[in-house]
């Protein structure tokens, strides 16, 4: 089995520091967050430039080259609703260490992100949602199947689609958590890959509790088959949990210092 | 439709480690497929075959072996020259048995001085093996590393007890290569590599001695350990296991009963030296098939046979 894929979430324009850095093309704060995440064990970095309707193409190209030049072509997840920006990013993207991931398509208005992935030989995160929050497991699977069929018709390798069952906040939608687990299990049983936007689950919970909810949620989801997650790799408890899951599942070989790698 | 052979591709590959100096250096590893899987990809360098010599006269070796070397075996420098000229091994392994505290207990200085003379007398790269007494080996290798600076030898071996001093002196200070020794335990093999790495030793300067046993003496554990190490290194791209492997086969095979029992004791088994060679060849053939990149052998006849086998498998 392959190792669990950790996608670092910290280059996100919701952070004022990063938003400002994008606007001013200030490399330092972006490189710093990238380095922290890579050192902590991120395999991919999410690059969220926001809706970026005005200068998305330039920002994406600038950031892709900045990160890949500095960090030995670290693979990236291009995260924006602006399709032209994604295309521009892919044009300058180096694939030596992995295909770009488009973040994200859904079964509704953003289904054409699948077309974009197919046209550019990219991987894509596919949210199992159409309008609002899916009612139940069955509805999630319906969307999964719709996107899978469309992707395959377009010639995408099913392994290049990371299905995201839509992780929801526990505080307020507690009853959805078992549904998410069940969805991962069912999608995994089809031999498909899954991704989690993990930090959503602990939103609103006290700060000291969040890493616990995130880690346990991750461990349970990994046992259901989860193969990737967008997370904060600087969360030590979470990273230790994921590495230990990898070790227990046999994805990495045990050594006394396995947590230090 | 034409038949298309399917190929097993791996994401990882084995580090290439060079030892010896200048144009006479030799490389270990470099493969990105299982041993001899020429049909799958790059098998790297040929398995290297080294011959074992001692820093003292080989009193305990069979008469037939003593006769091959004659007077040369009285002096390690002449012995090394003799072996190099007559048998052209890929490397020579000088085993510092005379430094063993349970034997002659030679000082590290004396043993190291001899090792230096040997290194200067030969062109092929040198592997220096210790006494297998961890305390003594620590002092021994610190001295050997110092006087052999520039020769880029392999120090065989560092274990969990002494890796810090041997790694620091051998690799960090005097830039040799170090063999990380574990006893047929995949988790410990990985751990020792990590520890050396955390000390500052680069993965490219480490070769693994993952332990050995003569065939018939728990060898299946050796084979499965090597197999799993290679599959983790190649399939899981585990950087902490991508070191080449060196296996001192002769250290084990010449002390089991098939090699030790005299013809008088076991007349039904036939010639003692033939048995010794057979044990050595079977074990060496098995470890190179399981993933060893270099083997250390004692009988020149074994070396020739294993070389022929490896060449035939590669050039089929």
Q: Does A253 touch chain B (CB under 8 A)?
A: yes
A238, A258, B205, B256 from A216: Cα distances, Å? 8, 19, 39, 52
Q: Does B228 touch chain A (CB under 8 A)?
A: yes
Q: Do B187 and A255 touch (CB under 8 A)?
A: yes
Per-residue buried b or exposed e for B270-307, using 16+ beta carbons within 10 Å of the residue's own CB: eebbebbbbbbbbbbbbbbbbbbbbbbbbbbbbbebbb
> What pLDDT does residue A229 have?
98
Q: Which residues of A touch B232 (CB under 8 A)?
A: 253
> What pLDDT does residue A52 have?
78
Distance CA A43, CA A76 (A): 9
Average pLDDT (A81-92) is 96
Distance CA B178, CA B157 (A): 7
Q: Do B194 and A254 touch (CB under 8 A)?
A: no
Q: Do B198 and A254 touch (CB under 8 A)?
A: no
> What pLDDT does residue B316 have?
63
Report residue A131 CA to chain centroid gap: 20
Point out which residues pair with A123 in neighbouring strands.
Answer: A101
Q: Do A255 and B190 touch (CB under 8 A)?
A: yes
B273 phi/psi in degrees, rounded to 5:
-65, -35
Q: Do B238 and A253 touch (CB under 8 A)?
A: yes
Q: Does A131 touch chain B (CB under 8 A)?
A: no
Q: Name which of A191, A259, A200 is nearest A225 in CA terms.
A: A191
Kindly report the CA angle at B18 between B90 and B229, in degrees rounded to 5? 90
Q: How confident is the model at residue A91 (pLDDT cuts 50, 70, 90)?
A: very high
In this complex, how many residue pairs, one in chain A and one in chain B, have their CB atoms less than 8 Å apart? Answer: 30
Residue B249 burial (C-beta neighbours within 10 Å; 0-12, 13-18, 19+): buried
Using DSSP's 3-state secondary structure scheme, residue B179 falls into strand
Average pLDDT (A187-208) is 95
- Structure ipTM over 0.90, yes or no: no
Q: Does B145 touch chain A (CB under 8 A)?
A: no
* Mutation to test the B interface, candidates A43, A246, A253, A261, most B Cβ within 10 Å: A253
A109 is written with which tokens?
Answer: 């208005």
Distance CA A250, CA B12 (A): 17
**Contact criterion met (CB below 8 Å) for B252 and B215:** no
Q: Which domains are delineated in chain B?
A: 16-314 (3.20.20.20)
**Contact criterion met (CB below 8 Å) for B248 and B211:** no
Tens place of pLDDT per residue across chain B (316 aa)? 788 888 999 999 999 999 999 899 999 999 999 999 999 999 999 999 999 999 999 999 999 999 999 999 999 999 999 999 999 999 999 999 999 999 999 999 999 999 999 999 999 999 999 999 999 999 999 999 999 999 999 999 999 999 999 999 999 999 999 999 999 999 999 999 999 999 999 999 999 999 999 999 999 999 999 999 999 999 999 999 999 999 999 999 999 999 999 999 999 999 999 999 999 999 999 999 999 999 999 999 999 999 999 999 998 6
Q: Is the omega angle on the peptide bond into residue A36 within 30 degrees of 0, that is, cis? A: no
Q: Does A255 touch chain B (CB under 8 A)?
A: yes
B51 is written with which tokens?
Answer: 């011959």
CATH code for the domain defined by A5-249: 3.20.20.20
Is 80 exceeded by the pLDDT of residue A123? Answer: yes
Q: Which residues of A touch B188 (CB under 8 A)?
A: 255
CB contact residues (below 8 A), chain A span 193-252, against chain B:
251-252
Kindly report the CA angle at A135 between A131 and A136, in degrees rounded to 5? 130
Locate the domains of chain A by residue range. 5-249
Q: For B287, what's the count of Cα atoms within 13 Å in the CB-facing half-sphere?
A: 36
- Within B151-258, strands assigned E span 154-158, 177-181, 206-209, 246-247
Q: Does A96 touch chain B (CB under 8 A)?
A: no
Distance CA A159, CA A1 (A): 14
Q: Does B11 touch chain A (CB under 8 A)?
A: no
Q: Provide the percentage of residues in chain A whose pLDDT is more than 90.
A: 95
The minimal CB distance from A252 to the residues B186, B191, B238 is found for B238
Is 90 exceeded by the pLDDT of residue A29? Answer: yes
Q: How confident is the model at residue A54 (pLDDT cuts 50, 70, 90)?
A: confident
């Amino acid at each position: 089995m392959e190792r669990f894929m950790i996608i670092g979430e910290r280059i996100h324009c919701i952070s004022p520091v990063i938003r400002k850095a994008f606007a001013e093309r200030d490399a330092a704060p972006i490189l710093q967050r990238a380095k922290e995440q890579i050192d902590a064990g991120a395999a991919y970095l999410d690059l969220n430039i926001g809706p970026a309707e005005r200068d998305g193409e330039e920002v994406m190209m600038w950031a892709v080259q900045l990160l890949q030049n500095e960090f030995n072509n670290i693979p990236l997840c291009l995260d924006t609703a602006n399709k032209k920006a994604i295309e521009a990013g892919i044009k300058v993207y180096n694939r030596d260490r992995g295909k770009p991931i488009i973040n994200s398509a859904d079964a509704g208005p953003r289904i054409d992100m699948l077309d974009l992935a197919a046209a550019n030989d990219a991987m894509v995160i596919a949210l199992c949602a159409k309008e609002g929050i899916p009612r139940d497991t069955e509805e999630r699977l319906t969307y999964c199947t719709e996107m899978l069929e469309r992707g395959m018709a377009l010639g995408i390798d099913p392994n290049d689609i990371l299905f995201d069952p839509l992780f929801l906040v526990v505080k307020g939608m507690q009853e959805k958590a078992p549904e998410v687990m069940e969805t991962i299990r069912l999608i995994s049983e089809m031999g498909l890959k899954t991704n989690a936007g993990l930090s959503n689950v602990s939103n609103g919970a006290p700060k000291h509790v969040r890493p616990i909810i995130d880690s346990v949620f991750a461990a349970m989801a990994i046992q259901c088959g989860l193969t990737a997650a967008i997370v904060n790799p600087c969360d030590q408890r979470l990273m230790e949990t994921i590495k230990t899951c990898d070790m227990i599942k046999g994805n990495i070989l045990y050594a006394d210092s396995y947590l230090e790698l | 439709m034409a038949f298309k052979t399917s190929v097993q591709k791996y994401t990882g590959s084995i580090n290439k480690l060079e030892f010896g100096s200048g144009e006479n250096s030799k490389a270990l590893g470099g493969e990105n497929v299982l041993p001899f899987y020429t049909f799958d990809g790059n098998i790297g360098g040929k398995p290297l075959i080294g011959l074992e010599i001692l820093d003292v006269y080989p009193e305990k070796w069979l008469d037939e072996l003593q006769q091959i070397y004659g007077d040369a075996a009285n002096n390690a420098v002449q012995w090394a020259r003799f072996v190099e000229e007559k048998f052209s091994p890929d490397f020579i392994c000088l085993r510092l048995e005379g430094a063993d505290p349970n034997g002659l207990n030679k000082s590290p200085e004396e043993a190291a001085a001899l090792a230096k003379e040997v290194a200067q007398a030969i062109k092929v790269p040198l592997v220096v093996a210790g006494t297998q007494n961890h305390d003594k080996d620590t002092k021994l290798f610190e001295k050997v590393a110092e006087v052999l600076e520039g020769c880029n030898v392999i120090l065989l071996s560092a274990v969990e007890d002494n890796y810090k001093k041997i790694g620091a002196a051998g690799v960090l200070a005097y830039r040799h290569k170090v063999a990380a020794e574990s006893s047929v335990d995949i988790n410990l093999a990985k751990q020792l590599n990590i520890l050396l790495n955390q000390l500052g030793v680069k993965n490219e300067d480490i070769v693994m001695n993952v332990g050995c046993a003569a065939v018939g003496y728990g060898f299946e554990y050796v084979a499965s350990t090597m197999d799993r190490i290679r599959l983790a290194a190649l399939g899981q791209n585990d950087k902490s296991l991508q070191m080449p492997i060196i296996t001192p086969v002769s250290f084990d095979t010449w002390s089991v009963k098939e090699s030790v029992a005299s013809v008088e004791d076991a007349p039904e088994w036939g010639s003692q030296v033939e048995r010794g060679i057979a044990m050595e060849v079977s074990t060496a053939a098995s470890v190179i098939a399981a993933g060893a990149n270099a083997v250390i052998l004692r009988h020149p006849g074994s070396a020739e046979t294993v070389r022929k086998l490896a060449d035939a498998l590669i050039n089929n």
